[in-house]
Chain A
Amino acid sequence: MRLTPDQSSRIRRKPRVEFTFDDLPVSGHDGESLMVALMRSGHLHLRDAPEDGGARGAFCCMGLCQECVVRIDGTVVESCRYAVAQGLTVTSLRQKS
């Protein structure tokens, strides 16, 4: 019996929705942030830094650092502040080879 119990099984979430990230299918729970859906699916490398191409991903989780940005409908958005939705088409700011 731990002093800090594992409460993960007591968390209930909304059903999943499907979206795409660089044409790859990803699912997330309706209403959670894009950043988190991507994190849970193992997509931590969200973009490449402009000058040196270094891999970057979520950092501050509160809309300040701009490291978690992705592109939706031609606009760059902070994935930590954008909710997943069914059918969303998300592209990364990674340098495509």
Chain B
Amino acid sequence: MMQNTDIAVIGAGPAGANAALTAARHSLSVTLLDEQPTAGGQVWRAKSTAILDAPNTPETVAGSRLRQEIDDSLVTHIGAARIWQIERSEKGWNLYVLRQGRSEVLHARALIIATGAREFVQPAPGWTTPGVLGLAGATALFKQEMTLPGKRTIVSGTGPLVFFVASEIRRLGGEVAAIITPNSRGDWLRCLPAMVSRPDLLLRGARWIADLILGGIPIWWRHAVTRVEGQTQVASIEFRKLTADWSPTGPARRVEGDSLCLGNGLLPATEAAQLAGLWLEYSLQLGGWVPCQVADGGTDIGGLFLCGDGTGIRGAAAAEIHGRLAGLSAVQHLGADTRAERDRLRAAFHRAARFGMAMTSLGIPRPGLLRLTTDETIVCRCESLSRTDIAAEISSGAGSTNAVKSGLRAGMGPCGGKFCQTTVARMIAETEGCTEADVPPPTPRPPLRPVPVAALAGDFRYSELPIPKPAPL
């Protein structure tokens, strides 16, 4: 990997890849980094090399086209690269990258962060049982490995992913036991005005649902999974109807299956942006906490740009355009005038965002959702801390996510709080009588991903150890 680049882009999904491609057209050196071996991000994740041949989908076509564009361009794409630290330097940025067991530094004059989204799953009893996958996790599994999580899968969650995942299970020869979604048909109808701008997606979604209905697969609208049963593997799930504010109500029903795909919307992955020095602000419409940003992928920090779902969940189509905008902003920062080009793209970005944000709206949590997390439900998976454990910490005075983390370790485990901090924050908000906007996530710390000591130690020679002034005696 070269040591210096004009523009470094973190994340090779639709946003980051387009940022890189756009910038590379302006005679600047561009390095595009991603922890996956190939570009595509989550939405256009490439098939593993184990798959020699498979039928195309709109995602594989779009992904292949993007990967081809990158190959044909002057962008330097570095795959299987995990950025573990981001530091400002006099000339711009130092990125510390873990590759093939070693840590290397990349110096960049400008930095574009396009880290995309991860998913939020509302903890429910038994959600840690093997055989339970995240809904977005399932899409990653299907796109990359085209393998089913089990023989008979229950699919549950908000938004379009629930129907996409069910459809993919059918396409891969699996059996969908049932679909359970907190959304109602009315919730979806309210999205129609925003969806008509994309008749292709609307039609595709309608086909998924029609196929499921024709296949006799029950769709339980306005329902949610309330318990996963099974000791070392999923055996069945219990589910109940929800009130309009998403509180479980009515009798429990049961469905048998050996696997469950479960998800409640997407969250922007903001750790890299925070490490680079950005503060977060809360936006319900964009999926929660997003980095403070200005127009065209800009930020208040010179030489730092953002684009894509990592700035707010607006979807893939908007991400592509946002990437171009951010790429142009980075180019502007390094000397060329790109205002006219950016002016031409802005309206399209906002139009494209409408669809994505309508999908995001389906995941906006309602007060009753937190009730799915019963007292004995594990909230912090890494440290096996239940809702009761965390509630006790909050009621004994821990009034911030940092304080809960310090007291109990919720958020200090290997996942770094990614899967618990949202629920912990909502618990604090409920207890304190404030909103989630008043309870920011804890400060993220490097490394951004776990890194082996040997990779960080590198080629250490004891004689190179600095000799400090002796401590005062």
* A–B direct touch in complex (beta carbons closer than 8 A): yes
Interface size band for B: 35 or more
Question: Given A31-B50, A33-B48, A56-B128, does the pair A4, B167 have CB atoms closer than 8 Å?
Answer: yes
- In the complex, A11→B130 CA distance in Å? 26
A1-34 vs B, Cβ < 8 Å mask (1 yes, 0 no): 0111111111111100000000000001111110
B119 at the interface (CB under 8 A from A): yes
- In the complex, A30→B170 CA distance in Å? 25
Chain A hits for B129, CB < 8 A = 55
Interface-facing stretch out of B145-153, B240-248, B421-429: B145-153
Question: Which residues in window 99-138 of B have CB below 8 A to A?
Answer: 118-119, 128-134, 136-138
- In the complex, A92→B349 CA distance in Å? 46
- In the complex, A10→B54 CA distance in Å? 6
Contact B144 A60 (CB under 8 A): no
- In the complex, A5→B146 CA distance in Å? 15
Chain A hits for B52, CB < 8 A = 12-14
B208 at the interface (CB under 8 A from A): yes
Give the residue name and chain of the B residue nearest to A76 (CB): B450
Contact A61 B141 (CB under 8 A): yes
B93 at the interface (CB under 8 A from A): no
Most buried by B among A6, A11, A30: A11
Contact B170 A52 (CB under 8 A): no
- In the complex, A55→B129 CA distance in Å? 6
Question: Given A7-B172, A64-B418, does the pair A36, B134 have CB atoms closer than 8 Å?
Answer: no
Chain A hits for B300, CB < 8 A = none
Contact among A14, A36, A45, A60 with B232 in the assembled complex (CB-CB below 8 Å): A45
Contact A60 B170 (CB under 8 A): no
- In the complex, A9→B55 CA distance in Å? 10
Contact among B132, B149, B378, B449 with A63 in the assembled complex (CB-CB below 8 Å): B449
Question: Which residues in window 373-407 of B have CB below 8 A to A?
Answer: 378, 381-384
Contact B415 A65 (CB under 8 A): yes
Question: Given A44-B131, A66-B450, does the pair A60, B145 have CB atoms closer than 8 Å?
Answer: no
CB distance from B96 to the nearest CB of A (A): 18
Question: Given A45-B130, A65-B418, does the pair A51, B215 have CB atoms closer than 8 Å?
Answer: no
Contact B145 A33 (CB under 8 A): yes
Interface size band for A: 35 or more
Contact B130 A46 (CB under 8 A): yes
Contact B55 A10 (CB under 8 A): yes
CB distance from A16 to the nearest CB of B (A): 10
- In the complex, A28→B48 CA distance in Å? 13
Contact B415 A64 (CB under 8 A): yes
CB distance from A35 to the nearest CB of B (A): 8
CB distance from B472 to the nearest CB of A (A): 40
Contact B384 A12 (CB under 8 A): no
Contact among B55, B134, B170, B232 with A2 in the assembled complex (CB-CB below 8 Å): B170
Give the residue name and chain of the B residue nearest to A46 (CB): B130
A97 at the interface (CB under 8 A from B): no
Give the residue name and chain of the A residue nearest to B233 (CB): A44
Chain A hits for B141, CB < 8 A = 36, 61
A residues contacting B by CB (< 8 A) are 2-14, 28-33, 36, 39-40, 44-46, 49-52, 54-67, 69, 75, 81, 83
B residues contacting A by CB (< 8 A) are 35, 42, 48-55, 118-119, 128-134, 136-138, 140-141, 144-147, 149-150, 167, 170-173, 207-208, 210-211, 214-215, 231-233, 378, 381-384, 413-415, 418-419, 449-450, 452
Closest CB pairs A-B (n = 5): A8-B173, A57-B130, A3-B211, A31-B50, A31-B49
Question: What are 8 sample pairs from A and B whose C-beta atoms fall under 8 A apart?
Answer: A6-B171, A7-B55, A30-B50, A55-B233, A59-B381, A60-B137, A62-B42, A62-B118
Q: A2-B170, A61-B140 are in contact. List 14 more A-B contacts (CB 8 A).
A: A4-B170, A6-B170, A12-B51, A12-B54, A45-B130, A46-B130, A55-B128, A55-B231, A55-B232, A57-B131, A61-B133, A62-B136, A63-B35, A66-B450
